[in-house]
Amino acid sequence: TNGAALVLGSGLGGGPIINGKLFQGSHFQAAELTFLLPVQMEKVNPSQMRGTALSAVGFITRVNEVLGNADLKDGREAFKAINARNEAVYPIFEAYCRSLAITILNLQSIFDMETFVLGGGISAQPVLIEEVNRQFDKVRHEIDFIGKIIKRPKIVACHHHNGANLIGAAYFLKQR
């Protein structure tokens, strides 16, 4: 009935479902999470935008740079190192998942969703879903009253992983 899809790609896209219907907003721009700005900012810097910081493409690039891989877009090699808990890159992965968990917690405090599904190519990695859930619980318990008041949503992988945004676009066109 109430949930949201978050698509991890070049930015962070979203598709909120409210009362069983896709919420598009007054200008069809609901959940353009790439454009979320940090709370404290003197001047707009695109690299500080929350959704930009949650770019899966940027995250994979950073991991591959640290690993010294020639192909900076190679998600398989990046996740091979993450799954092996490579000490050079696992902290980058934890920080990425923590930022995503904080974004989900912020959205949960606004919308009170039942479920958040994560889409995009990296959502096919079980370690991503596990770590986002771990970071979500960690953040929730760091501030005691948040853990007591804000209900925990389910955080799961989107069934269609990398096809999630394409299916969302097709659904939008079908509705028109």
The domain limits of the chain are 3-175
CA quadruple 50, 170, 156, 30: dihedral, nearest 10: 40
What average pLDDT is seen over the chain?
A: 88
| Regions in the chain scoring below 70 on pLDDT | 37-52, 164-165, 168-169, 172, 176
| Predicted local confidence at residue 69, as pLDDT | 97
| Predicted local confidence at residue 111, as pLDDT | 94
| Predicted local confidence at residue 164, as pLDDT | 65
| Predicted local confidence at residue 47, as pLDDT | 57
| Predicted local confidence at residue 143, as pLDDT | 85
| Predicted local confidence at residue 43, as pLDDT | 56
Contacts of residues 19-25 at CB distance under 8 Å and 24 or more positions apart, as own/partner, are 22/171, 22/172, 22/175, 24/172
Topology given in CATH for the domain delimited by 3-175? Nucleotidyltransferase; domain 5 (3.30.420)
